Structure 1
Amino acid sequence: MICEPIFKKLKVGEHVMWDDQCQAAFDKIKEVLSSPPVLSLPVAGLPLSLYLTVTDTAIRAMLAQTVDKEERAIFYISKKFLDYEVNYTPLEKSCFALVCATKKLTHYMLSYSVSVYSKMDPIKAVSDFVADNPIEETEVVDTWSFSDEDVVHVEDDVWDLYFNGASNYMGYGVGILFISPVGEHVPVSIKLDFNVTNNAAEYEACLLGLRSALDLGVKKLLILGIYIKSQSLALYKTRIEELENYFEDIQYIHLPREENQFIDALSKLDALINIPDHIDNMPICVERRSSPAYVKAIDDAKEGETEPWYTAILKFKETGEYPSDLAMRGKHALRMLSAQFIRTDDGQLYKKMAQGVLL
């Protein structure tokens, strides 16, 4: 581990003497920080590679993906061994590294095919151990009996569809949410300009979801929502059965409204909102902010100028100078904002995110 010589000096009772090893570690840290790795987003459909490295004092892992014959880093993991973990055997340390990586990268491993590369093979070691130490059973185990057999098995190419309808004194609306096999969320909401009951609104939402799924080219669908049995709604049921014939596989799960809160809120929003007669679509934009509101105190892009928004930040990181027309409050905001960025030797500016990720 790069920082190990410096960490040893920080222990209680340790004689602090800056030596050549500490200086070499410090120089290495500066080199790494001045040329930070840029992480990439994984490309859906391509396998991932997990590289595990184990030393006497720490474990490291890198998740990567090869795209167009170029290997791109996606995620880094580093952990220093605790005192008792140092006593593990090399094989135990390799298994421990795999466990740590699996816990940290669960969301990737559930969505992608992952190949593990390590000097030792922790997976083979675990399988050999299980084979050599079978569990003695006093009763015959039914291999076809599972505790979670009531859970529907979803294949990789199955889409999830959540739906809900709302009817109240303000109006009527339906909301649906698609979740693709790779975890992409596609919400859709529609306001109904005709009178429907609560039960009919649920069927309207389900029909909207089925038609939208066909438009998206979905062949396998898992539908989650509230199902109403009513003879007065037989026409809705007939239409749903007609659309079901266009899918290769379609399954239903009853989901109470309290467990379907996002779609419930979406459908109620449609019912409450008033859309003018001359407007067919009224988009709702939900943004994600990665910086606090005080950033707006910096007027880094005057009207008519073509400089990018980060010009003042980059100049401050290079020279420590403020824009000439910046007030005291703006200078304070610029200092706080600049602390969230790193400037490399080649003049590139990167945003520091959680866990050391640079964007």
Structure 2
Amino acid sequence: MIAALGRFVSKSAERCLPFFNAVKGFKTAHWTEECQAAFEELKRYLSSPPLLTKPEPGEELLLYLSISPLALAAVLVREDHSQQKPVYYVSKVLHDAEIRYQRVEKLAYALVMAARKLRPYFQAHTIKVLTDQPLRQVLHKPDTSGRLVKWAVELSEFDIRYMPRLAIKAQVLADFVAKCSIPRQAAEFEIVQTPVMEKSVTHEERAAVEAEAEIVPAPAEQDPSAAEPLWEVYVDGSSNRGGCGAGLILTGPNSFTADYALRFGFHASNNEAEYEALLTVQVKAQRLKAYCDSQLVTNQIQGTYEARDERMIKYLSLVQQLSTKFKSFEVVRIPRAENTKADVLSKPAASGYTTLGNICMEFLQRSSIDRRVAEIMEVEHESCWMDEIVDYLRSGKLPEAKKEARKVIQRATRFSLDGESLFKRSYTLPYLKCLRPSDAAYALQETHEDELYHVLWAYRTTPRTPTGESPFNLSFGTEAVILVDVGTPSARISNFNEQLNGDGLRANLDLLEEAREESRIRVAAYKQKVSRYHDSKIRPREFRVRDLVLRKAAISQPKKAGKLSPTWEGPYRVKEVIRPGSYRLETLEEQLLPHAWNPKNLRN
């Protein structure tokens, strides 16, 4: 019955969890109080079931997603005269390893689950996924896990658009969205949080929930006298020999708290790191109060100190521009002892950690100053095939033609955007950097220059298949910088830091002997692989008793072997087949030879 009614019931898997838990062990199954409560709630819900609608051919459909610790759910919706009406509800209970998925993976899994169960709808309609989470960016980011890459490829066959979630326009959807939604303030900061479990509600409570689920009215409709909520952020920067980073703690209304860490791909002082942390805050609020333990940064923003360093002047200018976005903006200095949580976040980020559990971490390739300069500079743009993919990955922009838009979505699953560089995912190689025509022509010219010096250099700097390393690396302990990397800057050139580079070179020398030993092991394994392949193609010779054969002279008479010596000598007669691949020979005068012979040293 539950399976049959699943399409009519919002979050049916989560509602029926007590039933599933009760029948897990069939021999010990018994009806519990939780089962009775879930049963009563299901009866109340079905007493006024939602009216499902049928979509029109070619109509765009909306999809809402929900995640909880133990279940996933989705609802497919169509808009009819500005009203949202449900088409189909689907849900799934999580099992084993699925329960341990990260929150963003659960959100992506909910989309994949909906696409699998509602495949006819996804094939016939354009699906708009309404979410307040950066789902599209997660599926296409460079460090996406193998599971997410697989799901991104699976979803590429459908015309799926990702849109920000707006108002909930139907009471039947409030029960689905209200208890699984993130507060709007949290959505604007784009931090994934696990929705709370839904509880039993009456019709009156459901109407109240609907009112709470409505989007905050536009500023023009709000009461000007109403007090704006205060948002607070604690920031701290860290800079050491291992790297640079920053930590943020954002707090807001409704007990909202978000931990955020920044890892920098550039060198920054402690004060610059704290400026970067402040500039990262892009919350849509009217009042913001920032807490910082840097005396210099705080006093420069407050106007007590004058910024004299060129970089400090630029950072201060950016913070002043940021302050204009708020009705109230204040920076307060606090003792370091009161800023320990942000300090704890900044230290691992500065030490090179790429993940911090469930805490969101962002990698900044360039400083805010450099990004601002890049935005202001007018650079000649060279149009090519990359533009459509870059526009889609960066902002979700697609061509107007439906067929072209779908083609871009399908192609984009194989690409990833890192800053301004586009990379193509490879199944067997590292990520491949995509080049524009002029850069590609330069790379080909440098790569295929047919001079002996360049050929030898290319050979020495190219990883060999047997060793897995380049001869240059095995000799000097590091990889050489080739001309193409200089002409079209790679990540290694763009992120070059002289101090960190020196430390890395010394570390490579310490690990050189280990790398050489690993290469020797790989060479031995490679030889065994080649030998097995060679042996698999050889058909062993078979001889019978009394067959006449010749014997290899280099094996029978090694001391007499020479350039002018015959390769084979004999003939001999097969006296006995000891076993397949082993023969006893005799001369034509029936004199037995002293030991057995392998067929690879014999021939007819």
TM-score (norm 2): 0.21
More helix, by proportion: 2
Where relative contact order (Cα < 8 A, 6+ residues apart) is larger, the structure is 1
* Larger Rg, first or second structure (1 or 2): 2
